[in-house]
A and B are shown apart, each in its own frame.
Chain A
Amino acid sequence: MSIRNAFSAFGFAADDATIDTLRTDLAFALRQFIDRSGMGQTKAGHVFGLKQSVVSQIVRGDIEHLSVERLIRAMVRAKITGFAEWGGSPELARAGTGFRTFGVSSLSFVPPIGEFYAKSPPVSAANVNKTTPVVAGALTEVPAGGA
């Protein structure tokens, strides 16, 4: 048996676990940025617009009192590109630096494949020679908000 989210494992509700996960991931991203840049905590504080003591807390992982908003502000001030995403369960929550690659969770915006086929014209000898591919035709028929 395995659990993907540490906050779920410690018995937190889905909403709390999601926020805590985002907070931890953002703080970890900032910590990695500080480690890789070789900046001192005072310099990092200037770059992030935070006090040195707060940078020290981020480095040590004492981040329970820091808000997600404050961490995002620090990343923006340091011109660090990042992302944050969440879903129906804490397991889908994650944040980090860089651009998010097109992954599994993004597919949830696409209607399920079954709906494509439901709206597709039946494949038969009569329409098999038509130029429009079946899947492309189905995609244009799905309304913007899904089925």
Chain B
Amino acid sequence: MQERPLHFWDEEEWKATIAGWPEAVRRGFATRLRVVQQGGQPHSRAKPLSDFDIPVWEMWHRDGQRVIYSVHYVSVSGRVEVLDAFEKDSREGKKMRKSDRKRISARIAALKRDMDELEKRQRQLRRGLH
């Protein structure tokens, strides 16, 4: 089975975000993201979020006493879109910060626009073929 490609909101920003993360954390996330690429779902330390228009998944990794790393993604049209990655202090609680929620919502809106544009182009192409 061909694995689904990973897309990022901004590759440079993504690289800069994860550059400082410990190796064990990066390996843990990559292992679970590979399973997602193959059409599976991570069985641990991941959950779907219901606060958004489309089913966004959150994966997290607790490292040390207080730091929680998290990666958010959606599976759409045969690809995996990584929407956000950040670290936070566990003392802030389980609830997502407003700023994080806003940022992810904006990226979902941009993704929807891209998908609509793609669908429009494909429809035009199909019309041209017939």
Contacts and interface: CB of A to CB of B under 8 A. Distances in A.
A1 B42 contact: no
B48 interface: no
A21 B7 CA distance: 18
B99 to A, nearest CB: 24
A12 B29 CA distance: 12
B31 A64 contact: yes
Contacts, number: 79
Nearest to A59: B43
Contacts of B42: 61
Q: How large is the interface on B (under 10, 10 to 19, 20 to 34, 35 or more residues)?
A: 20 to 34
Nearest to B26: A10
Given A12-B30, A61-B43, A64-B24, A25 B11 contact: no
Interface of B: 1, 3, 5-8, 11, 14-15, 18-19, 24, 26-35, 37-38, 40, 42-44, 79, 82
Interface of A: 1-7, 9-12, 20-21, 24-25, 28, 31-32, 59-64, 94, 96
10 contacts: A1-B11, A3-B8, A10-B27, A11-B18, A24-B34, A25-B38, A31-B43, A59-B43, A61-B43, A64-B27
Given A1-B8, A3-B6, A24-B35, 6 more contacts: A2-B5, A6-B37, A12-B26, A24-B31, A61-B31, A64-B27
